[in-house]
Chain A
Amino acid sequence: MSVPVEATVKPGAARSPLREFVASYARSRIAVAALIVLLLILAVAVGAPLISPQNPYDLKQLDIMDSKLAPGSKSGAGWIYLLGSDDQGRDMLSAIFYGLRISLGVGVLSTVAALAIGIVVGLISAYKGGWTDAVIMRIVDLQLSFPAILIALILLAVTGQGVDKIVIALITVQWAYYARTVRGAALVEKRKEYVDAALCLGYSAVRIVLRHIMPNVLPPLIVVATVQVAHAIALEATLSFLGLGMPITSPSLGLLISNGFTHLLSGKYWISFFPGIALLVTIVAINLVGDQLRDVLNPRLK
């Protein structure tokens, strides 16, 4: 079973497995809508500098006279702030576009890195067994018995703010889960006949693990990782909101929301509200796509 990358899914582009996959994915209209929304968000995140009305972090383009304008207000230069402006006179729409870029970037980067680490550690654990396995699994157990937010908080309280630090924190809270899942799946695969066959052919252990076991363990994990990106984004936003995440130079959605929080009580809702909606739509879209992928690819449900 293979997991086609979403971008390569074109109806009719390939033979039956892919077409079947597309057809069963499309069975849920909500999931299709979520996929379209997600692709749009990705496009916005990638193309933020091209489509934003203003570069929100170029101070020359900001006009302090335009600060805290309500959505739909006209700027001093004559164009319209569709979603209003913040206390610096920054166009909220542009800030959200740039924020999406940062939030998604951090979420995807940390999840991919955690997945890679988890796979390596999980495979080592499953293959080596014995003491190595016991020690690794105790560490995983210890870590998973605390909530992710607490571990991330401890790390950031010790290391301080920074993009690199929050990425490290997000990797740290995610790897253990993948390691455990990979180990479990690899142990099941290890007992299967094709592994015996490969052993009989005299293949090296490394080759069997990487070329035979890993491809069979990977697909369900990638689906889980899709949903995990949403968790990572939410966690980053939460940490940034608490003032422990992103530095002020990399304003993610969470930081925008945090910035607007002080103005929320005085009725200037848009500074906080719209970045929140962007965050929400992103998280829900990723969740819906991930859930549908899981249902489609889950052999038990077929």
Chain B
Amino acid sequence: MAPDEFGPRILTFNSWGAKAGHDALQSGQSRKAMLAFIFRRLAQSLLALFVMSALVFLGVYAIGNPVDILINPQADQAEIARVTASLGLDKPVWVQYWHFLTAAFSGDLGKSFASNVPALQLILQRMPATVELALVAMVIAIVIGLPLGLWAGLKPDSFAAKSIMAGSILGFSLPTFWVGLMLIMIFSVWLGVLPSTGRGATVEVLGLHLSFLTWDGLKHLLMPATNLALFKLSLLVRLTRAGTREAMVQDYVRFARAKGVPENRVVSVHVLKNILIPIVTVVGLEFGSLIAFSIITETVFAWPGMGKLLIDSINVLDRPVIVAYLMIIVFLFIFINLLVDILYTALDPRVRVAGVRA
């Protein structure tokens, strides 16, 4: 399968040096190499975080007047003077950046104009809704995508397999927001069976409001989660199919069959176990992009998550919230990439064997 089939987005899979670390581990064959890799990877992540925060800072603070950006347009002269002084705008840019950075690390990303609540708090309040949506979407993608991909990989020439693959191409190329609109048109407007907006009733569990535990919440969740899942579902179908086709011709499958292992068991134990590692990696990596893509789904379905908050904030130029969102999502992405890279090198049996031998 050509990598360009997925376009640039999917290439993030090993872009951050998981492969390089992997190679180093296989050649270095020692725990030392593993530690060195983790440290190098950690340093890379910190650098990336630094660069991205600098970019966000330059983008939002340096372009245009920071005072206009940071305070309410209706503020009076005294307020403007106060903010100018507190920001230290007479100081050089790098000093200003330092102030921004230290404030950000202590959790101060400014107050929202619209609600006069700290931006960070506003986003953290909305986060559970987004995470719930993304998790349910991921579950849908796995529960449907894995069996379909297995089927398409086991019987590649069947009509069903071809339909599945054609469907996955559609899943890749259709814009998410358009699919969302069509879902609303069919299930809310024409059939009237599912609600088109909002989150429905929630249950409070350990201080978190969750939708999927109530019937009403579940009904609200179904369409947005399916919409968000579609792209990942297509990705999983393709990955599983490719992995299955590769695995089915391996010696261990022939050996298992020769031994008289029933075909069901060959697939469900031998094949599945072997194709699961790359799939788990991708599922982990793609979780970040699910959060990012939920911006679209949340806007279409008026889902009250942080993506919807971002778009609303952009529309009313609520800049502190925009900055806070960007910083959080950048952090999230770098963190997930780091975590997956380390887990990948730790989980891959080939790497483990290399470690034991040394």
Contacts and interface: CB of A to CB of B under 8 A. Distances in A.
Given A177-B8, A242-B299, A158 B63 contact: yes
Contacts of B292: 146-147, 149-150
A158 B56 CA distance: 9
Contacts of A276: 178, 181-182
Interface in B323-340: 326, 329-330, 333-334, 337
B181 A257 contact: yes
A238 B333 contact: no
B184 A264 contact: yes
Nearest to B286: A147
A13 interface: no
A273 B51 CA distance: 42
B126 to A, nearest CB: 16
B189 A287 contact: no
A148 interface: yes
Interface stretch (A49-57, A137-145, A201-209): A137-145
Given A154-B326, A243-B311, A257-B178, A177 B11 contact: yes
B293 interface: yes
Interface stretch (A15-23, A79-87, A222-230): A222-230
B11 A238 contact: no
Contacts of B12: 144-147
A287 B322 contact: no
Interface stretch (B21-29, B167-175, B211-219): B167-175
Contacts of A298: 2
A141 B16 contact: yes
A184 to B, nearest CB: 11
Interface stretch (A66-74, A120-128, A278-286): A278-286
Contact of B56 (A154, A224, A241): A154
B8 A234 contact: no
Contacts of A279: 175, 178
Interface residues of B, number: 50
B296 interface: yes
Nearest to A231: B7
Given A144-B11, A146-B333, A287-B173, A242 B296 contact: yes
Interface in B144-198: 169-170, 173-178, 181-182, 184-185, 188-189, 196
A241 B2 CA distance: 31
A150 B174 contact: no
A269 B7 contact: no
B189 A267 contact: yes
B125 interface: no
Contacts of B296: 149, 238, 241-242
A157 interface: yes
Main secondary structure of the interface of A (DSSP, over half): helix
B188 A174 contact: no
A244 interface: yes
A164 to B, nearest CB: 15
B4 interface: yes
A110 interface: no
Given A142-B51, A154-B326, A273-B185, A224 B174 contact: no
Most-contacted residue by chain A among B8, B12, B330 (CB, 10 A): B8
A284 B173 contact: yes
Contacts of A200: none
B60 interface: yes
A234 B7 contact: no
B9 interface: yes
A180 B14 CA distance: 13
Nearest to A156: B314
Contacts of A158: 59-60, 63
Interface in B284-300: 289, 292-293, 295-296, 299-300
A115 B88 CA distance: 42
Nearest to A283: B173
A274 B185 CA distance: 13
B115 interface: no
Contacts of B326: 154, 157
Contacts of B310: 153, 157
B15 interface: yes
A269 B4 contact: no
Interface string A148-185: 11100111011100000000000001101100110000
Interface in B48-72: 48, 51-52, 56, 59-60, 63
A261 interface: yes
B189 A144 contact: no
A238 B177 contact: yes
A294 interface: yes
Top 8 A-B residue pairs of the complex, sorted by shortest distance between their CB atoms: A177-B8, A158-B59, A234-B175, A150-B292, A147-B289, A241-B177, A144-B15, A287-B173
Given A145-B337, A149-B296, A150-B329, 12 more contacts: A146-B292, A146-B330, A148-B8, A153-B310, A154-B56, A158-B60, A238-B176, A244-B314, A265-B184, A269-B189, A276-B178, A284-B173
18 contacts: A141-B15, A141-B16, A144-B8, A144-B11, A146-B12, A146-B292, A146-B333, A149-B293, A153-B295, A157-B322, A158-B59, A224-B4, A237-B175, A242-B295, A243-B311, A264-B189, A265-B196, A273-B185
Interface of A: 141-142, 144-150, 153-155, 157-159, 173-174, 176-177, 180-181, 224, 227-228, 230-231, 234, 237-238, 241-244, 257, 261, 264-265, 267, 269, 272-273, 276, 279-280, 283-284, 287, 294, 298
Interface of B: 2, 4, 7-9, 11-12, 15-17, 48, 51-52, 56, 59-60, 63, 169-170, 173-178, 181-182, 184-185, 188-189, 196, 289, 292-293, 295-296, 299-300, 310-311, 314-315, 322, 326, 329-330, 333-334, 337
